[in-house]
Every structure is written in structure tokens, then in C-alpha cells.
Chain A
């Protein structure tokens, strides 16, 4: 399979006045063409930082890339000129943001905001064709085209997210980054939006990275899954492999234990002890060591490397170092 995106040993830190926050530490991830990958992790694990890095949209002055690189279609994203980057954003890679309430410009009509993407990337397209395309994509996301003349405040949260999706897809990008697209929405709307995204993904053949903290969404929606903890991918495999729960990273395992299982009689969930990693200290060893019940002295001192436990399923944990997968 052809690789579309390759993130290699990416290190990103945020330099604030109080402290240095190590957001991504040796973050590596590949994405094949046409793949739908779920990226799962707790708040602060570095999921959004990863997505923003891919489009080089990290907040300037604060965020600093200290190592690694991102290759999109064979091109190094960090070495692109400003012009190349602008051509990449919106046309090749587009992003659906977490909060639809704040990610639309309040003083522009939604039609204009969708139209703007076409204006930027297809300046030679006629006005009428653009208007038709906008109407078409609005219909596809389930909004009557005549509502394109309205402003964001006239839409509900779910409808706004549909507008954001329309905006992300109108230029038919090859890669869609969806950063917790349903977190800010009502549960009843979440399913609708996910169904819509899946439908459109199929229609356009877009590759997709779906960032979420919800394992249920991953199981429903994705082919493959990457589990992120402390700014690195600690487990990666197909949904079948990871959800089989035969071989998992201890962190993934405890994530599963946090989901209520209605088929057994257990009345209590098993929370993960301790707190989410404090990323203000430079990482040594396994990021999960402090909260891991199977941790040894070695986990604290030596960073585990990737161990394949099955074909295409790897785990970054010392427990699996004798495994002979590929």
C-alpha cells in the first residue's frame, strides 16, 4: 500500500513563561492512502498537537518543533515554502475542528466561508460554478442550499459542524483530519455527524485521521487505531487486532476496563490510577510507567521500543520484547 503521510520521531514542545511542555516525544505514525485511522488518547496526550503539526498550524512563537519530520506524499511539510503550505492546506489536507461554535467566522455567511476555500484553491473557477459547488456540498451535508446566505449564529451546533464538514470537503482533499468532531455536540447529534462523515469519506475516497477519546467511535468508524499516551504512539494495529484484547499495551488495556460492559455482572469500572502525565518534565523511560501496574524499574529508566506482536500490530512496551511479529 502506498504511504500518504509519514510522521517520523516528531518532537514538539510548547515554551510558555512558566514551563516547557513536552507535547510530542518521538511521535511516529504512518498513514496509507484511503486508510481511516482512529487516534485515541486522553486529553493532553498530544492528539491535537499532532493534527496541527501536519498542517504546520501550530501556534507561532509558542510551539517549537525540536526534531523529526512529517512527509506528505513524499514532500517534507516542514521544508515547504509559505506558498506550498497554503496550497496544501484546504486543498490537499483539511481539518474539522473540535468546537463548531467557535470555528466559524461570525461575521461571514456560511456560504461565503465555504466559497472562500474554492476561491483560494481554484481562482480560475467561474463565480457560477463556485456557487453551484457550494450548493452541492451543502445539500450533501444535509443543509438546504438557500441557508448558505445565513450567518453562523443562525445555525445550531450540529448544523454548524455540518457547515465545517462542508468547508473541509468542498475542495475534495486527499486527507481529512477530524479533531474530535463530535465531542462538543449532543449525543443524539454525534451519531448523525459520524454517519455523514463516513458516507462522504466513502464518496470522495478521502483518507482520514479521526482523533477521539471515545473507543466506541473508533470501533464503529475506523479500520485501524493508534493509541497515544504522553505524546507518543504506544500501540498501533487494526481495529480487530486491538479490540480482540489478546495482546495490548497495559494502557490500552486499562482504557478498555474503563468502558462499562453490560454483558457481565461487574458493577464497578476500573479507573486508571494516578493522573494524566504531567508533560512539563522531559520524558525518560515509558511515559505510562508511573501508572502501570506491571511496571518494573526498567520501565522507569529505559524507553521501550516498538515490538510487533502480530502482522501490522505493534506495542511500545517492554512486556512484549520477545514477540516475533512483523
Chain B
């Protein structure tokens, strides 16, 4: 198990090299010259060229990339091209907000969708199932920014119950967490239903019933634990989704998270910010996937990592 964990951590290195190289190449293919963008309009061609040399942009792309990675290895994430702010500081400041949002919404989504998904599976083809399935479809189809705005209007603007935007107190997290959760709850209820239904029809669940076990024990002890594996995988990917993909939510609720940082940098082609943010996000996604894999072996004795 320890050996496997170490191996998986080491495997993160080529993954991250692959991701960063790919992003670096893509960004360098975008037309336009950063040195010209950064120079004042009255700058002469010589001045622009001097800036280009200073930023290292006159070198071949691969050399630029290697230089960047060399700096990263020394813990230097560089400074923003536009604001001259150190990227590492900014990421350290912003990452906690995004992480908290991700952790809260994943925990809450699992607390809601596993029980409800199991319920719809147990009561499949009854009115409970139909009503919940309908609600799931509605919430899965609802764009989260729209839901966010509706929540702001009704729970904040009109009633004053919760803060509409910004960060600071736990209350600030309520609305964004709901907005992020809604669709992931809807999707996870549906997938939990499928997996539990699959297990409920299996022979060993029939064996459990034949033993005289109560329906509660049959479902909780025998069915759910067997269905948990694919369900957890689903939550792992929803968590990864929040880390890199909550731009809209962060914008709507004015959360100073990493997603907004990254997207605004993409607009200005601020390479150090883009590269640094993506690097940190990919490390977190890799770690979450590793944790999910390690949980498999805790849940299912058949899974053994060598």
C-alpha cells in the first residue's frame, strides 16, 4: 500500500510535465506578441525588442518552457507580467477559497445524494422515484450561474438572510455551495440509483434476505457498500470539476478563488499566472484521484494494491 502510494505520487511528475508542456505550447500558438502588448504605445521597436529579450521571449519555445520549469523546481512561480505581483503569493491566497468551496460542496453533495439515490433505487418505479427523478432532471439541466443569481435575489436581496457575495464568514459559503451542489447532487442521485439498483438485484442481496435480515440491513449493509465504489469515483470527479471549473460561480459570487484568477489571466495572456494556476490545480486533481483509488482498497477487500 505504501509502495503503491509512493509509486502513484511519482507518477504525478510525468503527468504534470505533460499538462504544463501542452498548455505552454498552446499559449505560444495564440497570435499576438506579449512584449508588444506590455510596451507603452509610444515605445520604439528597439524598446519592444529589449523588453522581449528581458522576458526571455526571444528564445525558442522549448527553451522558454525549460527555463520556466527550472524556476518552478526552485520554488519560483514568477511574477505577473502585468501587475508584477508574485504569482505564488496570489495562488496561496486564493487556493483556500476554491478548496473550501470544493470540499464543502462535495461533502454536502454526497450527504444528500447517496441517501436519496439509495431511496430512489429501493422505491424504484414508485411515485417517490418519479418525483425525485423529475427534480434531478430539472436541477441537472439548470445552469449554475442562473441558479446562483436566483438564490442571490431570493435569499439575499429580497430577504437579507444571507450575504450575496464576497467571502469572510461561513455564511458567505452557503449560496455558492448550493449553486455548485445542485447539478452534482442531481447527477449523483441518478448514478447512485443506477448502481444501487444493480446491486439490489444481485444474488448476495437475495441471500441476505433469505437469512431473514431486515430490509434496512439488507440495503445499508449488503447493497450500499457494494455500490459505493463507482459512487465515490463520481464524487472524486465532481470535486476535480469544482477546482478548475467554478469560474462562473466565483464570478457570480465575487469569490477571490483560483478559477477567476486563471480565466482573467487567459484573457491577458499572463503566462506566469496561467502556468502556475494550472500546475497547482493539476497537482490537487492528481492527489484527489489518488485518494479515491486508495479508498477503493478500504471499501472493497478484493482491491489490493501492490
Contacts and interface: CB of A to CB of B under 8 A. Distances in A.
A95 B222 CA distance: 18
Given A102-B202, A102-B204, A106-B204, A88 B212 contact: yes
Given A151-B301, A153-B301, A153-B302, A104 B204 contact: yes
A299 interface: no
B285 to A, nearest CB: 28
Contact of B209 (A89, A91, A104, A164): A89
Contacts of A106: 204, 226, 300-302
B142 interface: no
Given A107-B225, A151-B301, A151-B302, A91 B206 contact: no
Given A106-B226, A107-B226, A151-B301, A121 B208 contact: no
A14 interface: no
A117 interface: yes
Interface residues of A, number: 31
Contact of A57 (B204, B209, B214, B225): B209
Interface in A91-127: 91, 94-95, 97, 99, 102-108, 116-117, 120-121
A138 B209 CA distance: 21
A90 B300 contact: no
B43 interface: no
Contacts of B302: 106-107, 151, 153
Interface string B213-234: 1110100011001100000000
25 contacts: A55-B210, A59-B201, A61-B125, A88-B212, A89-B210, A90-B210, A90-B213, A94-B211, A95-B210, A97-B203, A97-B206, A103-B203, A103-B207, A104-B204, A105-B222, A107-B301, A107-B302, A116-B211, A116-B213, A117-B212, A120-B213, A121-B212, A153-B302, A164-B207, A167-B207
Interface of A: 55, 57, 59, 61, 82, 85-91, 94-95, 97, 99, 102-108, 116-117, 120-121, 151, 153, 164, 167
Contacts of A91: 212
Contacts of A151: 301-302
Given A151-B302, A153-B301, A153-B302, A90 B204 contact: no
B204 to A, nearest CB: 4
Interface string B127-157: 0000000000000000000000000000000
A264 B63 CA distance: 89
A235 B271 CA distance: 85
A104 B210 CA distance: 12
A249 to B, nearest CB: 32
Please classify the interface of chain B as helix (H, G, I), strand (E, B), loop, or mixed, using the class held by over half of its residues: helix
Contacts of B206: 57, 97, 103
A153 B300 CA distance: 11
B299 interface: yes
A164 B203 CA distance: 12
Closest 8 CB pairs of A and B: A90-B212, A89-B212, A102-B203, A90-B211, A105-B204, A103-B203, A151-B301, A86-B212
Contact of A105 (B210, B226, B299): B226
Contacts of B301: 106-107, 151, 153
Contacts of A121: 212
B211 A89 contact: yes
A106 B229 CA distance: 13
Most A CB atoms within 10 A — which of B203, B212, B302?
Answer: B212
Contacts of B208: 105, 116
Contacts of B209: 57, 89
Given A102-B203, A105-B222, A106-B226, A120 B299 contact: no
Nearest to A105: B204
A86 B213 contact: yes
Contacts of B210: 55, 57, 89-90, 94-95, 97
